[in-house]
Amino acid sequence: MCGRLLSSDVLVPRDRVIKIGEKPMAEIPFINDTQRLLNLAPVGAAPITHHVFVCTGTSCSAGNSAEVKATFERELLARGILFGKEKKGKNPRGSIVLTECASVGFCAIGPAVMVYPDGVWYAQVRTTDVAEIIEEHILNGRVVERLALLKIPSAGVAVARTTEKTNWET
């Protein structure tokens, strides 16, 4: 009999085990009413100009990415441009969305910060770099070149191939 041991003496048949997170959800009806959509997701009506992603994956976290994200939040709040709910101290007409994300593929040189729609990926960002990224890039449209790893779309860089394995995802 195939099953799963739930305690030291109880075997439950496999077809009766429901794993957390795998429970079927009720079907969500499609919403056709634009105004109702905007009421549910006010970001759809906000004057968003940039979306900033801060990686808080394992390696980026080791590089203090949580504090980098917190510094972005403080700086954007102080300028009154962080989009969000007023009851959370944010601006419902703010122009910048700040999102925490997981690994983006270059954790070994994190913390990573991506700024869209410009498609600029910054590497090795420190809390002391945040104000410069906001002032130079977000507010004045000038990429902070010393931190910029790449800009999307990217043609890539010609690199000599090696048979040695690289550890880019640490």
Q: Give the start-to-end residue ranges of the domains of the chain.
A: 50-151
pLDDT of residue 4: 42
Label residue 15 by pLDDT band (50, 70, 90): low
pLDDT at 154: 75
Residue 53 is predicted with a pLDDT of: 96
Look up residue 141 and give its amino acid. G
More confident residue, 165 or 120: 120
Sign of CA dihedral 58, 64, 65, 70: positive
Q: Report pLDDT for 29.
A: 81
Beta strands 120-122; 148-151: pairing state: antiparallel
pLDDT at 145: 96
Residue 121 one-letter amino acid: W
Mind listing the pLDDT tens digit for each residue in 23-76? 555 677 888 888 998 888 888 888 999 999 999 988 888 889 999 999 999 999
In this structure, which amino acid lies at residue 95?
S
Residue 166 backbone dihedrals phi, psi, to 5 degrees? -110, 150
| Confidence at residue 2, expressed as pLDDT on a 0 to 100 scale | 44
pTM of the complete model: 0.74
Which CATH superfamily is 50-151 part of?
Answer: Glutaredoxin (3.40.30.10)
How many Å apart are CA 4 and CA 114, to the nearest integer?
43
- pLDDT digits 0-9 by tens, 101-151: 998 888 788 899 999 999 999 999 999 999 999 999 999 999 999 999 989
For residue 8, pLDDT over 60 is answered with no
Burial environment of residue 76 by CB neighbours within 10 A (0 to 12, 13 to 18, 19 or more): buried
Residue 155 CB coordination number (10 Å): 6
Q: Check residue 12 and give its pLDDT.
A: 46
